[in-house]
Amino acid sequence: MTRQPADLEAHAHAALHLLECSILLYRQGDDAFSRVAAVQLRILLCDTTRRHNRMESLALLPRIEPQLNLPNLSTGTFMSIQAWLEQPLPAMPEMSVRDLIRRVCDQDGGAHVDPHANTPPPPMAGEWIIQLGEILLAELVKRQPPREFRP
């Protein structure tokens, strides 16, 4: 059974709410919430599964906001979600945005702790995750129509 668009939007709104709360808690000094933020970024931007020997995207935002563009981390020019995920991190050119999100989620305690990981987490991984979340939230806020004031 395929989920309806309204279901996907509800899941996206929940993930965005969790991302926003995680950023707030991280900024208040609880570093562990960078891992929660990473999981929400994965759900929203780059979650995948393997079906019939091929990778299939489960990411919510490309399905419900296919025209969403995000700013390049170095130049500020806008790019598609997929290009944004593949860009290298300015401080770690050997690692893409997608690599960082997946690394924190799949190895460093976001969704899994890999007991066989033989490299330490990337430097400043938590701060990078939070900054990526802040960028995403800022762009999504720009796309929202103004809310009607209701006392």
* Helix or strand (DSSP H, E) at 105: helix 97-106
Give tens-digit pLDDT for 98-112.
Answer: 999 999 988 765 565
Predicted TM-score (pTM) of this structure = 0.87
Residue 151 has a pLDDT of: 45
Residue 70 has a pLDDT of: 97
State mean pLDDT over 117-132: 85
Give tens-digit pLDDT for 61-80.
Answer: 999 999 999 999 999 999 99
Domain boundaries, given as residue ranges, for the chain: 5-142
From CA 130, how far away is CA 23, in angstroms rounded?
6
**55 DSSP β-pair partners:** 50
Residue 113 has a pLDDT of: 62
Per the CB < 8 A criterion, the answer to whether 70 and 62 are in contact is no
From CA 99, how far away is CA 103, in angstroms rounded?
6
